[in-house]
């Protein structure tokens, strides 16, 4: 009996000691013990002091500039290990306050260094650009820094003088206050509502319970009760959430003005040199392509036999399916699914699965969710809470995509250009999912399983592409209010969001007015403004790439190599340029329109499988 089966049979979260070592990550690859960690902190402090002491010397020539960059790299590589060791340890048991204190000490160390090192970019951009580029051309070892040096000069009009940068650095911790307050209000201090379901049971509608109820409750009235219980929390405190969000928008507007940007969205996208027109194209094209989305919800309404349909009806499975996927078997399935990417890719996927890189199962105190975390010079680590569901299967494939992206980038790039941007981060993860879907559909003729797989794929497009484009649309409009000195109240934000949601879902959904408060429930709006659109652009990119990777024509080998080169490139160029080299141009509406077409095709396939099931009854 597998650990997952044992766990579900016992119906209790196991202790960490109950999990086999091969299903836990091995942090010994980072440090053998805490003494070694302490020693690296001491060494890192010394390197930080040495870097700070180099202030005023960058103009002395190529050798001094090289010394500064290499020293900064040493600090950066050490910082990965110093932070990840306690962070990964803490995430396996978040009841451990000693580990939390270690993390906070590391964060304070990095914040202090950030303030002391604020001289670096102002001093660099004060130098003659042609002179610096001449040093890069003449000194071979400086060539690793050609792109980051070029980036500093590209953004020089947005870099303040030393005093200005120092002053802004003082606000770095305060700037996070609205987000921290949001997290406290929505998580730490939240009081969840309890509802009585149709079977007489009472359920406290927490975030996890709400998601579960929408996926599992066949009774529509139960889903409605769960929705009202969850969204009522946000509506009851809508004015407080609006005040926090106004702070976010005002902060964005003020920061953009301080750094000479036209707007907050220009400032947010400039770091990756992404034209605002790319975001605008995404928003406009997605909004114009809502017909397949509405077709899908109309199909759901029909199959579920609902007289009235609302958004809380959008997660319940269209067919009953309770197959449990055993982890080790799934691992082999994923390895087989990525065969189009070559034997070496498969070999490294296997190493990730078997090499102590993954913490697989839920245990008491462990952080929820899933992620892949890189450690340059070691390897990535993956956290899962694997439960055997189909969703968990695709989560594993997704996180392995991130892991392979990090691994190939770190193997190929020097530290200075290894870190890829969020703009391309979800390409590898969603492409892995697409390969897995294609493989699993090819392995089954069961219309039930095929319908479940197709619904999973469609729901991925709805959540990753359409909803993120809708969120981006909302953010653009909300931040524009601040930049135009317009009032930002709960009523205003409710109207902005609700009007866009109505456009996307059309007449098929009789949207409850309470959905107007959805904006208050999206953490990214408060924690990472103008972040969510990148999920949608990444999905559009991977959708195009996977079609070429799976095309068995003469161009397949070249398409695979272009894709792998994208992963190997890390952060060595602007993400738009890296994607173009791989064959994706996000400035073209046709790239985004292809996702609309893909959804329409998948909905048609789902209709066919559901018809087959209906005829078999």
pLDDT, residue 21, reads 95
Task: Establish if 120 belongs to a structural domain.
Answer: yes
Query: How many other CB atoms are there within 10 angstroms of residue 614's CB atom?
Result: 10
DSSP labels for 476-543? Answer: HHHHHHHHTT----HHHHHHHHHHHHHHHHGGGS---GGGGGGGGG-HHHHHSTT-THHHHHHHHHHH
Are 105 and 204 in a shared domain? no
Are 503 and 408 in a shared domain? no
Are 588 and 458 in a shared domain? yes
Are 207 and 122 in a shared domain? no
Residue finishing a domain among 159, 187, 219: 159
Q: Taking residues 296-319, report their average pLDDT.
A: 96
Tokens linked to 233: 């929390």
**Catalytic annotation on 399?**
yes
Q: How far apart are the first and last CA of the chain?
A: 34
Distances 40 to 70, 102, 107 between C-alpha atoms, Å: 17, 14, 15
3-state secondary structure of 322: coil
Q: What CATH number does the domain containing 45 carry?
A: 1.20.140.70
pLDDT higher than threshold 50 for residue 10: no
The dihedral built from the CA positions of residue 236, 239, 240 and 245, taken in this order, carries a sign that is: positive
Mean per-residue pLDDT over the chain, rounded: 93
194-196 and 371-373 strand pairing: unpaired
Q: Provide the CB-side half-sphere exposure for 214 (13 A, CA).
A: 18
Q: What is the pLDDT of residues 534-550, one digit of tens each?
A: 999 999 999 999 999 99
Are 204 and 316 in a shared domain? yes
pLDDT higher than threshold 90 for residue 243: yes
The C-alpha torsion from 39 through 43 and 45 to 46, rounded to 10°, is 140
pLDDT higher than threshold 90 for residue 180: no
- CA nearest to 125, candidates 150, 97, 98: 150
Are 422 and 473 in a shared domain? no
Residue finishing a domain among 136, 159, 182: 159
Are 511 and 394 in a shared domain? no
Are 155 and 198 in a shared domain? no
pLDDT, residue 455, reads 96
Q: Which residues contact 318 (CB under 8 A, 6 or more apart)?
A: 300, 303, 304, 451, 455, 606, 610
Quick one: DSSP state of residue 156? G
Q: What is the pLDDT of residues 201-226, one digit of tens each?
A: 999 998 888 988 998 899 999 999 99
Rounded Cα distance, 472 and 180, in Å:
22
The dihedral built from the CA positions of residue 358, 363, 367 and 368, taken in this order, carries a sign that is: positive
3-state secondary structure of 202: strand
Tokens linked to 616: 């078999």
Quick one: DSSP state of residue 26? -
Q: What is the pLDDT of residues 491-506, one digit of tens each?
A: 999 999 999 999 999 9
DSSP labels for 54-105? Answer: TTT-GGG-HHHHHHHHHHHHHHHHHHHHHHHHHHHHHHT-TT-HHHHHHHHH
Helices (H), 184-326: 207-216, 220-236, 238-258, 264-270, 276-288, 291-304
Task: Establish if 587 belongs to a structural domain.
Answer: yes
pLDDT, residue 368, reads 84
The C-alpha torsion from 203 through 207 and 208 to 211, rounded to 10°, is 90
Q: What is the pLDDT of residues 461-497, one digit of tens each?
A: 999 999 999 999 999 999 999 999 999 999 999 999 9
Tokens linked to 473: 């649309």
- Residue 606 or residue 206, greater confidence: 606
pLDDT, residue 197, reads 96
Rounded Cα distance, 592 and 542, in Å:
11
Structural domain boundaries, residue 294: 174-321+448-601
Task: Establish if 168 belongs to a structural domain.
Answer: no
Task: Establish if 504 belongs to a structural domain.
Answer: yes
Domain count, the chain: 3
Rounded Cα distance, 318 and 332, in Å:
28
Task: Establish if 385 belongs to a structural domain.
Answer: yes
Residues in the chain: 617
* DSSP β-bridge partners for residue 361: 386
Q: What is the pLDDT of residues 252-288, one digit of tens each?
A: 998 999 888 999 999 999 989 999 999 999 999 999 9
Rounded Cα distance, 393 and 460, in Å:
14
Radius of gyration for the chain, computed over Cα atoms and rounded to the nearest angstrom:
25
Residue finishing a domain among 93, 124, 159: 159
Q: What CATH number does the domain containing 268 carry?
A: 1.10.1370.20
Are 101 and 249 in a shared domain? no
3-state secondary structure of 372: strand
Task: Give yes or no for a contact between 229 and 195, defined as CB atoms under 8 angstroms apart.
Answer: yes
Are 384 and 317 in a shared domain? no
| In the chain, % of residues over pLDDT 70 | 98
3-state secondary structure of 584: coil
Are 183 and 297 in a shared domain? yes
Task: Establish if 289 belongs to a structural domain.
Answer: yes
Query: How many other CB atoms are there within 10 angstroms of residue 24's CB atom?
Result: 16
Are 71 and 95 in a shared domain? yes
Write down the catalytic residue from 165, 362, 399, 426. Answer: 399
């Amino acid at each position: 009996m597998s650990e997952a089966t044992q766990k579900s049979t016992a119906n209790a979260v196991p202790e960490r000691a109950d999990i086999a070592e091969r299903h836990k990550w091995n942090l010994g690859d980072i440090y053998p013990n805490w003494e070694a960690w302490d020693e690296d902190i001491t060494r890192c402090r010394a390197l930080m002091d040495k870097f700070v002491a180099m202030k005023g010397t960058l103009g002395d020539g190529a050798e001094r500039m090289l010394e500064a960059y290499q020293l900064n790299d040493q600090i950066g590589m050490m910082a990965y290990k110093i932070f990840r060791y306690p962070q990964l340890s803490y995430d396996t048991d978040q009841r451990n306050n000693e580990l939390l204190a270690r993390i906070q000490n590391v964060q304070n160390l990095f914040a202090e260094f950030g303030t002391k090192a604020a001289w670096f970019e102002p001093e660099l951009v004060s130098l003659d650009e042609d002179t610096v580029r001449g040093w890069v051309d003449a000194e071979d070892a400086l060539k690793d820094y050609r792109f980051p040096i070029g980036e500093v000069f590209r953004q020089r009009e947005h870099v303040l003088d030393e005093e200005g940068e120092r002053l802004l650095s003082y606000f770095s911790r305060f700037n996070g206050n609205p987000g921290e307050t949001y997290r406290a209000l929505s998580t730490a201090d939240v009081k969840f509502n309890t509802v009585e379901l149709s079977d007489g049971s009472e359920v406290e509608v927490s975030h996890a319970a709400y998601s579960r109820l929408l996926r599992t409750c066949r009774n529509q009235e139960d889903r409605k009760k769960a929705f009202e219980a969850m969204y009522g929390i946000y509506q009851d405190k809508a004015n407080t959430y609006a005040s926090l969000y106004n702070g976010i928008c005002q902060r964005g507007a003020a920061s953009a003005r301080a750094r000479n940007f036209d707007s907050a969205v220009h400032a947010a996208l400039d770091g990756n040199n992404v034209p605002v027109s790319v975001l605008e194209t995404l928003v406009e094209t997605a909004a114009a392509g809502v017909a397949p989305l509405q077709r899908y919800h109309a199909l759901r309404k029909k199959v579920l036999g609902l007289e009235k349909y609302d958004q809380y009806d959008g997660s319940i499975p269209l067919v009953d399916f309770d197959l449990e996927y055993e982890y080790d078997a799934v691992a082999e399935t994923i390895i087989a699914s990525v065969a189009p990417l070559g034997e070496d890719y498969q070999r490294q996927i296997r190493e990730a699965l078997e090499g102590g890189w993954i913490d697989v199962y839920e245990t008491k105190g462990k952080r929820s969710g899933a992620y892949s975390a890189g450690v340059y010079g070691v390897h990535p680590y993956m956290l899962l809470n694997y439960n055997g569901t189909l969703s968990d299967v695709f989560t594993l494939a997704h996180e392995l995509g991130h892991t392979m992206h990090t691994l190939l980038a770190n193997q190929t790039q020097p530290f200075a250009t290894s870190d890829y941007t969020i703009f391309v981060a979800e390409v590898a993860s969603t492409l892995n999912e697409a390969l897995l879907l294609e493989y699993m559909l090819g392995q089954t003729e069961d219309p039930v399983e095929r319908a479940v797989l197709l619904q999973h794929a469609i729901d991925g497009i709805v959540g990753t592409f359409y909803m993120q484009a809708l969120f981006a649309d909302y953010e653009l409009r909300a931040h524009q209010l601040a930049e135009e000195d317009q009032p930002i109240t709960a009523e205003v934000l409710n109207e902005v969001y609700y009007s866009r949601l109505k456009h996307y879902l059309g007449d098929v959904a009789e949207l409850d007015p309470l959905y107007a408060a959805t904006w208050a429930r999206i953490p990214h709006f408060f924690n990472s403004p103008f972040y969510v659109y990148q999920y949608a652009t990444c999905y559009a990119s991977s959708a195009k790439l996977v079609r070429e990777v799976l095309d068995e024509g003469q161009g397949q080998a070249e398409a695979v190599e272009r894709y792998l080169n994208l992963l190997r490139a890390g952060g060595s160029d602007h993400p738009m340029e890296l994607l173009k080299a791989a064959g994706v141009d996000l400035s073209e509406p046709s790239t985004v329109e292809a996702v609309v077409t893909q959804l329409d095709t998948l909905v048609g396939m789902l209709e066919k499988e559901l018809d087959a099931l209906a005829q078999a009854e």
